[in-house]
Structure 1
Amino acid sequence: MAVKSTGRLMRWMQKVYYNQAGFNQFGLMADDTLRQTPEVIEAVRRLPADTYNQRAFRIKRALDLSLKHRILPSEQWTKFEEDVRYLKPYLEEVEREMKEKADWNAR
């Protein structure tokens, strides 16, 4: 019983943090806000064209809104439940490849 309530509490805390971060008010997803490390840059380069274009649109729209000191109407905000970690599989692959390359170079 305690595990279920702990899980619900964690989920609630995640939602609160997600909404407090504010990037969703610009229509961004969590993966759109990742710091541009070499791994992230390579993962973004590997995205399919349609996913890459959607990401670019969200970032350009967010920049435009930010410059105008505006946010999207609340019905257009990215919802916690709808935010997909689209970059995660590519990022994991890149990190695995970089680790393997470093292991080979260390020999």
Structure 2
Amino acid sequence: MTPLTFGDLDAALRALRLLAVEYPHLPAPCVTISTVYPDRLELALHDDLAAFEEWREVLGIAPGAVGYGEQRDGRTRVLTASVDYAGARVRLVGYGTVATVGEAA
């Protein structure tokens, strides 16, 4: 297998660059670009599902296209969605704490 070059990450890097120019006012996500999935840009938002919703809306992802899961024995909500943007697959992930009885959400 031929090793990837930095240029092989072009689609994900281009998508990141365009998002930064187009939406500089949005909350900053944790950004991941990997040689494992060179055409994918992952944007993760921790402890802020409202920020996930802002990103979901600007990326044009329908609410019904969002996946839901839980981690940490049901203590963490995980929302996921993907969309094609500027030649890359953008994966949006949101993490939020599940309120327990007696706690505010």
TM normalised by structure 2 equals 0.26
Higher relative contact order (CA 8 A, sep 6+): 1
Larger Rg: 1
The structure where helix makes up a greater share of residues is 1
